[in-house]
Amino acid sequence: MDWRTARASYDRFAPRYDEVFAHLQRPKIQALVRLAGGLPLAPPVVDVGAGTGLFGRLTGQHCVEIDASLAMLTYPKRPGCVQAKSDALPFADSQIGTLVSVTSLIDYVRGEGTLREWARVVRPGGRALLSVLLREDLASLDADMAAAGFVLDASEVAGQDRMSVWTRARRPSIMPA
């Protein structure tokens, strides 16, 4: 599904998202925080694909929330939200201390620009906390994370998801197209 179609779908679904998904996202968020060693996370914390802001609301962690769907960023209305795509983040190089992505990598395609963009904005020593559906191509995702300069620190599988914490350890190498 292309990003415009996905954005339109999330725009329509935004008012009901928490009602349907909050109970499913809560354990993923708790597992990511535990795997990362608890709170607080290294600032600035950026939640990519933040949707309705569940990560920040459930953890109390101050986050800059990014989502392609403006409607998702307004249910509920809150400050610190920016409409942007995950492969075109509005940050300078090496600016982010912690990047969070809870089930926002959907239909991952090997070599797509999202992980290169994340490597650009996460500073060396910074971390990426990811929750990914097991139906995704995890081998390709892991290979692309490594090629982008991330090292896997911890991961666990729960239900239909894999939660993982990655550290950006070096400059990204060239990822296959």
Are 49 and 86 a contacting pair, CB within 8 Å? Answer: yes
Residue 8: pLDDT band (50, 70, 90) is confident
CB atoms within 10 A of CB 135: 11
Does domain 3-168 sit in CATH 3.40.50.150? yes
Distance of CA 11 to the CA centre of its chain: 18
Q: Where are the domains of the chain?
A: 3-168
70-79 pLDDT tens trace: 988 998 888 8
Angle at 22 between CA 17 and CA 23, to 5 degrees: 135
What is the pTM assigned to this prediction?
0.89
